[in-house]
Amino acid sequence: MAVIATPTGSRLSLLLKVGEKDNGQPILKTLSFSGVKPESDDEDVLDVALGIEELLQHPVEGISRVNQVDLAEGD
């Protein structure tokens, strides 16, 4: 069976360390930006994330991109 995958959206997520618990474990918060064009290069998305990181008060622990794709049966 063939599958047709159609990109429908993309999101940029930054994982921030906003503090520490009493036991020393980090308190993490996710900051997400929707509306990333699916056809954008990963390098460009990373460059934007690094630019945003410079503006943030909290350190960034991780950067990820989540792509959404619609799947349908092909002929």
**pTM (two decimals):** 0.83
Q: Structurally, how many domains does the chain consist of?
A: 1
Please tell me the distance from the alpha carbon of residue 37 to that of residue 42, in angstroms, as a whole number. Answer: 11
Please tell me the distance from the alpha carbon of residue 9 to that of residue 44, in angstroms, as a whole number. Answer: 16
pLDDT digits (tens, 9 = 90+) for 31-66: 999 999 999 999 999 999 999 999 999 999 999 999
Helix or strand or coil: residue 57? coil
State the residue range of the domain holding 55: 3-73
Query: Residue 1: CA atoms inside 13 Å, Cβ hemisphere, count?
Result: 6
- Give the single-character DSSP code of 58: S
Please tell me the distance from the alpha carbon of residue 48 to that of residue 57, in angstroms, as a whole number. Answer: 16
User: Looking at residue 1, what is its pLDDT?
Assistant: 79
Helix or strand or coil: residue 68? strand
